[in-house]
Structure 1
């Protein structure tokens, strides 16, 4: 398991994140995406409609370095904000569509976490933290 349980639990409460990729010419791209945490592989799997024709998919094929962010606001001030940023290497993959009605593409992006940064995710240590992901 790459993420610790509290990080994985936080991701399970969220439906969307933002995936930052780099285009072949060096320009950044940041898009909202649907995702799942694959606990068996310790990866973030990013799905979408027509994924294989998207710029983010092509960007990952050209430059696999990505950043993925999930955040939410649940209260006032900085104490009421949480986020988890996962930096890592991504790959393009093909598998079964994760939705029952087949609207999502079988093509997806799989992120292998390397560096994790969070804000107010750890209950026993509120505020900012950062750590290297455990390589299995």
Structure 2
């Protein structure tokens, strides 16, 4: 049974808009996790996370989706070291491996991983407000 998609909050979207690099965890056919740094954007029209890159279709993360579409995606950073303030958004859900998609930035291939959020865990985002 598929879980229902969830909508990201305004604070979560505002934070994601300040970041360009996240980490995508997929599962390979032997059920071993694989985690990769990835470029992304929030797709406001669809409420999804879109992941693109150079030669994405040849990557393990893209191929992993053929056997298991469950993913976890994390974006985090340190808003402050003194005091220690961590900001984080973790999105769990299902992903599609799409081909023939117009890239949103130069140098990207025509493949895209589109994450449909089913669960969002976030903290420390109060720091995003006002800059």
Tell me which interval the TM-score lies in, with the shorter structure as reference length.
0.7 to 0.9
TM-score by length of 1: 0.84
Name the CA distance, whole Å, in 2 between partners of 1:53 and 1:43.
22
Query: Quick check: 1:13 aligned with 2:6?
Result: no
| Unmatched runs of 5 consecutive residues or more in structure 1 | 124-136
Q: How many residues align?
A: 121
Match of 1:112 in 2: 116
RMSD: 1.5
Instruction: For CA contacts below 8 A with separation 6 or more, give which structure has more relative contact order.
Output: 2
SS at match of 2:66: helix
Name the CA distance, whole Å, in 2 between partners of 1:77 and 1:61.
44
Name the CA distance, whole Å, in 2 between partners of 1:78 and 1:72.
14
Name the CA distance, whole Å, in 1 between partners of 2:70 and 2:125.
24
Name the CA distance, whole Å, in 1 between partners of 2:90 and 2:83.
16
| Unmatched runs of 5 consecutive residues or more in structure 2 | 1-5
TM-score by length of 2: 0.87
Name the CA distance, whole Å, in 2 between partners of 1:116 and 1:78.
25
**Aligned 1:1-136 pairs, distance under 5 A:** 2-76=7-81, 79-94=84-99, 95-99=101-105, 101=106, 103-122=107-126
Name the CA distance, whole Å, in 1 between partners of 2:45 and 2:83.
33
